[in-house]
């Protein structure tokens, strides 16, 4: 991988771990503020064989152990990004980070696991899953998959069952947008929700009304607006609000929990808020671009700059960002993803004369942990513990891999970051590790820096250098029936008993004729 030539050599040939202790498997992280979602303390963590063995004050040190001084720093679970698209074929292009470069970028930014969306191949889920499993063989950190469902038939239902029972899948994404490619109808969505519920798998929705988006695109293009700004104008928040409301109500009708991906607008957030207030189990996932950016760059006179910001649902006008931040701090929204779907400037050039052809997606897998720290913790909106919850623990709980992931506890995987709150971070395409040639956070400067990333008990990021190795990333299977499914059977019974008894008409006038 030529892009790693300027990096430490061991990340290039992938043959051996060397230098700077990157091969060491016994680590003592000393004197840091150890932060979990529910508790923090100052002390040490001992790691061996990729697992956190013990933690506490003043742990003993032996000769063969590498000691990392973390005093004055936060020691936290590695980030888990619930929403990425590596090597994704989409809109005539393939996202430019593969499972190696995207994950190397993730590690450089403190994310030690991600859950990618495997797309079906010609509607075939199992085939799609196998294609993605093969792509992911080059992984340098742990990963899982959600599976997309883009049509409905008996084979889809059968494959869903097999994927859940034998392949470690416990979530399925339904697109209500992308008419003519990925979009499902309400009928297909209902079938999918029913199957998910039966299997204990969490249905996820991309909530935009795809029919209305197509109408909006024709309308805006016909007005002569052909540039990237047309993307935002053609699919306003009302279409996200509508689809969010619809999917929430259909989930209620089926009595299944629901996960709304990339919540980008006040409209969608308020639907989630209202449903949660009424007691419905709806999870809302904002993403970094929605929390930290506004749509102003879409009006930049330079196409290359403007096109970078094209994603769906669109990045909204200023005000939506602040409202999403507030919803995250108040618990209306539960965890932060990125929707990392990187298309470089030559790929984005495909839509130079028609915004409808710009591949949708922004970068973020490398920036998420830093930007969220800045926007939410430096601003005083969240504590470090809450930061751990929204960047790692909540994701692990929702997808049923906690406490293996998302926690610093004896027995948990040693996926750990060390964040220095007093160091400075500056984000730029000239220094990032993704294959992208641009960065939507270009020039972002902030207090707080993730100085060390430990994945599977190995130091993979330190002193601004990566020590990553192809093929060591593991597929993390995720079991069905997470906590979100507890008690659903009782609610089903309550529903049945709430139905008024059917009327016996065997003796009415019509019958006796």
Minimum CB separation of residue 439 from ligand URP in Å reads 16
Q: Does 339 bind ligand URP (CB under 6 A)?
A: yes
The two tokens of residue 261 are 């991906």
| Binding map of Zn ion across residues 448-467, x = CB under 5 A, - = no contact | -------------------x
Q: In 3D, which of 308, 306, 290 has the Cα closest to residue 298?
A: 306
Coil vs helix vs strand at 77:
strand
Q: Which residue's CB comes closest to ligand URP?
A: 360
Residue 22's binding partner among ligand URP, Zn ion, none (Cβ under 5 to 8 angstroms by kind) is Zn ion
Q: In 3D, which of 486, 406, 419 has the Cα closest to residue 38?
A: 406
Whole-angstrom Cα distance, residue 465 to residue 467?
A: 7
Instruction: Output 250 or 377, the one with its CB closest to Zn ion.
Output: 250
Among 115, 149, 212, 311, binds ligand URP (CB under 6 A): 311
Q: Does 312 bind ligand URP (CB under 6 A)?
A: yes
Minimum CB separation of residue 11 from Zn ion in Å reads 7
| Beta partners for residue 52, in sequence order | 47
Coil vs helix vs strand at 462:
strand
Q: Does 206 bind ligand URP (CB under 6 A)?
A: yes
Instruction: Output 8 or 73, the one with its CB closest to Zn ion.
Output: 8
Among 73, 85, 138, 467, binds ligand URP (CB under 6 A): 85
Compute φ and ψ for 356, nearest 5 degrees.
-70, -15
* φ/ψ bin of 37: left (φ > 0), alpha (ψ from -120 to 50), beta (otherwise): alpha
- Which 5-44 positions form the footprint of Zn ion (CB under 5 A)? 8, 10, 19, 22
Count of residues in contact with ligand URP, rule CB under 6 A: 9
- Strand pairing report for 93-94 and 282-284: unpaired
Instruction: Output 244 or 412, the one with its CB closest to ligand URP.
Output: 244
The two tokens of residue 279 are 């007691």
Handedness of CA 300, 302, 304, 305 (dihedral sign): negative
Q: Which residue's CB comes closest to Zn ion?
A: 467
Helix 237-254 vs helix 266-277: angle between axes, to the nearest 10 degrees? 20
CA-based angle 346:350:355, to the nearest 5? 125
Compute φ and ψ for 207, nearest 5 degrees.
-100, 90
Q: Does 368 bind ligand URP (CB under 6 A)?
A: no
Minimum CB separation of residue 264 from ligand URP in Å reads 9
Q: Does 438 bind ligand URP (CB under 6 A)?
A: no
Minimum CB separation of residue 311 from ligand URP in Å reads 4
Residue 111's binding partner among ligand URP, Zn ion, none (Cβ under 5 to 8 angstroms by kind) is none
| Beta partners for residue 450, in sequence order | 419
Instruction: Output 8 or 348, the one with its CB closest to Zn ion.
Output: 8
Coil vs helix vs strand at 465:
strand
Q: Does 389 bind ligand URP (CB under 6 A)?
A: no
**By the 8 A CB rule, do 235 and 213 touch?**
yes
Among 289, 344, 360, 449, binds ligand URP (CB under 6 A): 360
| Beta partners for residue 381, in sequence order | none
State the distance between the two ends of the chain, measured CA to CA, in whole angstroms.
Answer: 84
| Binding map of Zn ion across residues 319-348, x = CB under 5 A, - = no contact | --------------------x---------
Q: Does 370 bind ligand URP (CB under 6 A)?
A: no
Strands in 121-192 per DSSP E: 142-149, 171-175
CA dihedral of residues 44, 48, 51, 54 (deg, nearest 10): -40
Minimum CB separation of residue 22 from Zn ion in Å reads 3
| Binding map of ligand URP across residues 442-471, x = CB under 6 A, - = no contact | ------------------------------
Residue 361's binding partner among ligand URP, Zn ion, none (Cβ under 5 to 8 angstroms by kind) is ligand URP
Residue 10's binding partner among Zn ion, ligand URP, none (Cβ under 5 to 8 angstroms by kind) is Zn ion
- Interface residues with ligand URP (CB under 6 A) are 85, 206, 262, 311-312, 339, 341, 360-361
């Amino acid at each position: 991988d030529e892009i790693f030539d300027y990096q430490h050599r061991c990340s290039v040939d992938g043959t051996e771990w060397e230098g700077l202790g990157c091969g060491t498997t016994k680590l003592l992280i000393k004197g840091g503020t150890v932060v979990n979602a529910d508790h923090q303390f100052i002390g040490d963590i001992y790691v061996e064989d990729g697992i956190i063995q013990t933690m506490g004050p003043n742990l003993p040190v032996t000769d063969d152990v590498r000691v990392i001084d973390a005093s004055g720093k936060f020691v936290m679970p590695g980030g888990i990004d619930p929403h990425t698209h590596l090597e994704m074929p989409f809109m005539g292009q393939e996202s430019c980070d593969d499972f190696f470069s995207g994950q190397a970028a993730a590690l450089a930014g403190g994310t030690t696991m991600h859950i990618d969306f495997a797309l079906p191949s010609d509607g075939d889920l199992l085939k799609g899953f196998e294609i993605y499993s093969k792509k992911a063989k080059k992984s340098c950190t742990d990963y899982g998959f959600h599976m997309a469902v883009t049509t409905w038939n008996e084979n889809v239902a059968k494959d869903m069952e097999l994927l859940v029972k034998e392949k470690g899948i416990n979530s399925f994404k339904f697109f209500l947008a992308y008419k003519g490619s990925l979009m499902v109808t309400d009928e297909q969505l209902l079938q999918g929700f029913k199957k998910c519920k039966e299997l204990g798998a969490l249905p996820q929705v991309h909530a935009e009304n795809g029919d209305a988006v197509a109408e909006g695109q024709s309308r805006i293009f016909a007005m002569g607006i052909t540039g990237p700004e047309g993307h935002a104008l053609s699919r306003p928040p009302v279409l996200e609000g509508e689809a969010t409301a619809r999917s929430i109500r259909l989930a209620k009708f089926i009595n299944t929990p629901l996960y709304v991906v990339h919540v980008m607008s006040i409209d969608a957030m308020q639907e989630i808020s209202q449903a949660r207030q009424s007691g419905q189990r709806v999870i809302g996932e904002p993403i970094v671009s929605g929390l930290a950016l506004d749509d102003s760059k879409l009006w930049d006179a330079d196409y290359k700059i403007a096109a970078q910001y094209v994603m769906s649902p669109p990045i909204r006008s200023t005000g939506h960002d602040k409202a999403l931040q507030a919803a995250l701090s108040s618990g209306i929204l539960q965890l932060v993803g990125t929707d990392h779907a990187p298309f470089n400037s030559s790929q984005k050039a495909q839509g130079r004369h028609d915004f409808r052809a710009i591949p949708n997606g922004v970068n973020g897998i490398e920036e998420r942990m830093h930007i969220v720290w800045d926007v939410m913790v430096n601003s005083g909106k969240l504590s470090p513990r809450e930061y751990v919850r929204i960047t790692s623990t909540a994701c692990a709980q929702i997808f049923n891999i906690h406490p293996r992931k998302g926690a610093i506890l004896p027995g948990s995987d040693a996926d750990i970051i060390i964040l220095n709150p007093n160091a400075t971070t500056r984000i730029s395409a000239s220094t990032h590790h993704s294959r992208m040639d641009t960065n939507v956070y270009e020039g972002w400067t902030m207090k707080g820096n993730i100085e060390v990333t430990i994945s599977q008990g190995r130091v993979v990021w330190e002193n601004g250098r990566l020590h990553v190795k192809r093929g060591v990333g593991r597929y993390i299977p995720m079991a069905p029936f997470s906590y979100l499914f507890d008690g659903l059977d009782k609610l089903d019974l309550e529903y049945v008993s709430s139905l008024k008894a059917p009327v016996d008409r065997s003796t009415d006038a019509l019958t006796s004729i």
